[in-house]
Structure formats: C-alpha cells, structure tokens
Amino acid sequence: MRVSCRFTQWLVIVVSFLSMSACGRQNPVVTPPTISVQITRDSCPSIEVQEGMQIAWTNMDTVDRVLFIQRMNDQGVLVDAGGTELLRPGDTFSTLFEQAGQYAYYCSEDRTSFGTIIVLPGSYPYP
C-alpha cells in the first residue's frame, strides 16, 4: 500500500509539472477591449471609444437589421465604410476601431435609425 501511495504522489507531481510546462509555451490570445451595444428598431445609441477598441452590436429586435458604418474626413468626403448586410435577431457583429475620428452608423436598411461613434486617440485620457 505504501508503494502505491508514493507512486500516486509522484504521478500527480509529474502530471502537474507537465501541464504547467505546456501552458507556459502557448502564446496567449490577445483580444482588444470590447464595448457591447444592443440595437433595436428604436435604438441605435451613440458610442465613444478609444482607438484599438472593438464594438460588438447585437440585434435585440424581432426582425432582421443591417449595420452600415461610415467615416468622413474633415472635408466631408467618405473615406471608409463597412458593416453587415444582415443581422438576424440575436446575431452579433463586431469590428475594431483603429483610427480616431467620427463615424456615423445606421442600423436600419432605410437609414432612419442611426448613431454616432467617436473614436478618441489612444493617448486621450479616458476615464
């Protein structure tokens, strides 16, 4: 019985050591901070984030929605646009904002529901 107990202790130590060693060699997955936003027919809230943050929109409506995001430069010229054509009820769409500026986003196909996204520079003192 004594040999069996020592063998079990030794086995636990070896397995623990190997599992810790294996974990130390893996590259950690780094994900940017994410802001979660719920959209409905009546709600496309305005958002303020810092550069490098991600926004995830979830369709909390009972019908399909679209999400269209656009950024204009200081002269009012469209410089960037994207989004999704279909966001079913309960679906989530996310995107990373790497450039400071002001964006408009629409969460209805006819563009009557909209909000603003303000992306602050990474050096901006964010609360």
Give whichever of 12-21, 55-64, 80-89 has the largest mean pLDDT.
55-64
pLDDT > 70 fraction of the chain, expressed in percent and rounded? 72
**Mean pLDDT value of segment 82-88:** 90
| pLDDT band at residue 125 under the 50/70/90 scheme | low
Question: Which segment of 22-31, 55-64, 114-123 scores lowest on mean pLDDT?
Answer: 22-31
| pLDDT band at residue 11 under the 50/70/90 scheme | very low
Q: Is 111 left (phi over 0), alpha (psi -120 to 50) or beta?
A: left
Between 60 and 40, the higher pLDDT residue: 60
Q: Are strands 53-59 and 34-39 parallel, antiparallel or unpaired?
A: parallel
